[in-house]
Amino acid sequence: MKYEKVFLVNIARDTNQIQLPVAIAVLVNTLRRHDIQVELLDLIPVEKDRRMETFKEMVASEPAIFGFSIVAGNRHIGITENYAKIVKQINPEHIVVFGGPLPTAVPDLMLNHFSVDYVVAGEGETTFPNMIRAFQAGKTDCPDIDGVFCKTAEGIVGSRPKWIRKLDGLSQPDYSLFDMDFYIDYLRETDQSFEIMASRGCRGNCSFCYKFCGAGLSIREPDAVLDEMEEIANKYGTRVQ
């Protein structure tokens, strides 16, 4: 079975603050650069009491791949699980993928207790596209790809990938699928800054800091960060300070 459609799902955490979807925007960019068509199901701009029904209307019935990014805290895993269950109820052949800090830290827990088929651990710029290519080629068994975890008859298998360290063009965000008027208006109304990812990880190894993605630091070239700042200012009317 081939999975032609890929959906990235952006859902709200149990908090009043709206987070700029940098991580998902990076995935949009990296999938497009790998010539993988991707669609976005962004529920943040939808009124809170309409999100569940709106999501049900968005989910296609044909077998597809659904990616969820999960952080720790604010009931994010519980809320994500509710949406993952809907995906499986609509079509059990849908593939559900969890990524982000929490699944990276505890892939076994995710696969044993939640409605997820695969976990992408660590940085997804290479792992996620490689996994999708395997699925689209009809290989739906657990792929032997660094960073992919899944459950088999013998137990949970998978291995953690090496860090990218030097973030390149695949790690730039692509906001073209988002309702950016909504996000920019929110930032202005709340007097918040536009977030930019200049690095990922931490150079330290503090005992109180749990390393979700492993020790070390991945960085972007300074010119790439400055170019993004200029593009954001020009496109969205923000100011650089």
Q: Please name which of 189, 194, 214, 192 lies closest in space to residue 203, comparing C-alpha atoms.
A: 214
Q: Where are the alpha helices (DSSP H) in the chain?
A: 22-33, 51-58, 76-90, 101-105, 107-113, 124-136, 180-189, 222-236
Q: How far apart are the first and last CA of the chain?
A: 51
Structure confidence at residue 189 as a pLDDT band (50, 70, 90): very high
Q: Please name which of 237, 139, 133, 136 lies closest in space to residue 187, comparing C-alpha atoms.
A: 237
Structure confidence at residue 60 as a pLDDT band (50, 70, 90): confident
CA distance 229 to 210: 30
Q: What homologous superfamily is domain 1-241 in, according to CATH?
A: Response regulator (3.40.50.2300)
Average model confidence (pLDDT) across the chain: 89
- What pLDDT does residue 165 have? 83
Average pLDDT value for residue range 74-100: 94
Structure confidence at residue 213 as a pLDDT band (50, 70, 90): low
- What pLDDT does residue 207 have? 65
Q: Which residues lie across from 219 on neighbouring strands?
A: 166, 199
CA distance 206 to 89: 42
- What pLDDT does residue 73 have? 74
CA distance 229 to 145: 34
Instruction: Give the other-Cβ count within 10 Å of 219's Cβ.
Output: 17
Instruction: Give the other-Cβ count within 10 Å of 32's Cβ.
Output: 16
CA distance 234 to 59: 34
Q: What is the pTM of this model?
A: 0.92
Question: Above pLDDT 70, what percent of the chain?
Answer: 94
Please list, residue by residue across 153-178, b when 16 or more beta carbons sit within 10 angstroms of its beta carbon and e when fewer do: eeebebeebebbeebeebbbbbbebb
Structure confidence at residue 224 as a pLDDT band (50, 70, 90): very high
Instruction: Give the other-Cβ count within 10 Å of 13's Cβ.
Output: 18
The structural domains of the chain, with segments of one domain joined by +, span 1-241
pLDDT higher than threshold 90 for residue 202: no
- What pLDDT does residue 51 have? 94
Return the DSSP state at 49: G
Q: Which residues lie across from 67 on neighbouring strands?
A: 8, 97
